[in-house]
Structure 1
Amino acid sequence: MTIDTLKKSQLMSKEISDLIISHEKVAHVQLQNPLDHALLILIKSGYTAIPVLDNDYKVRGQISKNEILDSILGLERLEIERLHDITVETVMNKKIPRLKTDATFLKALTTSINHPFICIEDEKAAFVGILTRRSILALVHRYFQ
């Protein structure tokens, strides 16, 4: 086995724990928040999508600017006045990528291909944080340097 093959094998089997952005630093909303609150969080954070958590801090989905705007799109205009009456739960995307804290880098890399971030959960399905595509690519870049 060559040194490069060994390094590649070590990288791909590495656990993702060092790359996780802690839940304390992640913008998120709750299921029952109104869409105007979610849109405000999205705009202030600069993100296009954020996790949606329940009262037990378990991931239930994610909400994006596009989902919010689609929900208030009327026939002839945006019905902005509806933002406060619709909850996050009714328009969020429930099919989102999730990994456990002990997932391998290869699994994270594969999952990140179609998603800007992956929600990370512990063994009890509690939200631990996120793994961004950016952090994954940064590690790959360092490997090839």
Structure 2
Amino acid sequence: MIDQHLEQMLLTNKRKFMIPASLVATVNVTNSLDHAFLVLTKDHYAKIVVVDNDNHYRGLISLSMITDHLLDTHKIAINRLQKLVVGDVMQTNAPVITNPFDVEENLHLLIDQSFLTVVDDDQHFRGIVTRRELLKAVNYTVHNFAHFYQVQNK
């Protein structure tokens, strides 16, 4: 459990924790792999969120997931980019969260993820919490804690 004083400081800029869905690059579960490949490459993302037509979260897709499906034994089967859709290759078991301000849960999950997908109770995509933003909060806290609190040895 995180000390309440530390958590309070970590949440100082909590409005920056979640990047809203409207600002996050996504692809549709029915998009072709060539579309997803272009979005990932052009925007320099390693992994992006997959949604359906009603903006429900469906999974994540990365360049490595796409290239894994293009590899044949002796060559790259580039024609598969038009034949397969995002839903054929996406990851569906990535963790999702509903509370972007649960610092303890987010810290644990962001050890193995660069971002966490935020959904509401109906699985509508609301945004992402990035490891970068949480690390900025940690950085602020460890550098400013003594300005707010006096620590005494037990």
TM-score, scaled relative to structure 2: 0.84
**Equivalent residues of 1:28, 1:51 under 8 A apart:** yes
TM-score, scaled relative to structure 1: 0.89
Aligned to 1:95: 93
Task: Determine if the alignment matches structure 1 residue 83 to structure 2 residue 81.
Answer: yes
Task: Determine if the alignment matches structure 1 residue 34 to structure 2 residue 32.
Answer: yes
Give the Cα–Cα distance (whole angstroms) in 1 for the partners of residues 23 and 10 of structure 2: 26
State the Cα deviation string for residues 81-131 of structure 1 (Å, max 9, x = none). Answer: 110110000100001111003651111111111001100012322110001
Aligned to 1:104: 102
Aligned to 2:61: 63
SS of 1:77's equivalent?
coil
SS of 1:106's equivalent?
helix
**Equivalent residues of 2:10, 2:141 under 8 A apart:** no
Distance change >3 Å, CA 15–CA 126, structure 1 → 2: farther
Shift of 1:10: 2.6
Give the Cα–Cα distance (whole angstroms) in 1 for the partners of residues 93 and 7 of structure 2: 30
The unaligned stretches of length 5 or more in structure 2 are 144-154
Aligned to 1:50: 48
**Which letter does structure 1 place at the counterpart of 2:63?**
K
Distance change >3 Å, CA 39–CA 17, structure 1 → 2: same
**Which letter does structure 1 place at the counterpart of 2:136?**
A
Aligned to 1:113: 111
- Paired residues, number: 141
**Equivalent residues of 2:55, 2:124 under 8 A apart:** yes
Give the Cα–Cα distance (whole angstroms) in 1 for the partners of residues 89 and 67 of structure 2: 10
Give the Cα–Cα distance (whole angstroms) in 1 for the partners of residues 37 and 120 of structure 2: 28
**Equivalent residues of 1:13, 1:106 under 8 A apart:** no
**Which letter does structure 2 place at the counterpart of 1:88?**
V
Q: CA RMSD in A?
A: 2.0
Give the Cα–Cα distance (whole angstroms) in 2 for the partners of residues 107 and 12 of structure 1: 13
**Equivalent residues of 2:27, 2:51 under 8 A apart:** yes
**Which letter does structure 2 place at the counterpart of 1:61?**
G
Percent of pairs with identical residues: 32
Task: Determine if the alignment matches structure 1 residue 143 to structure 2 residue 141.
Answer: yes
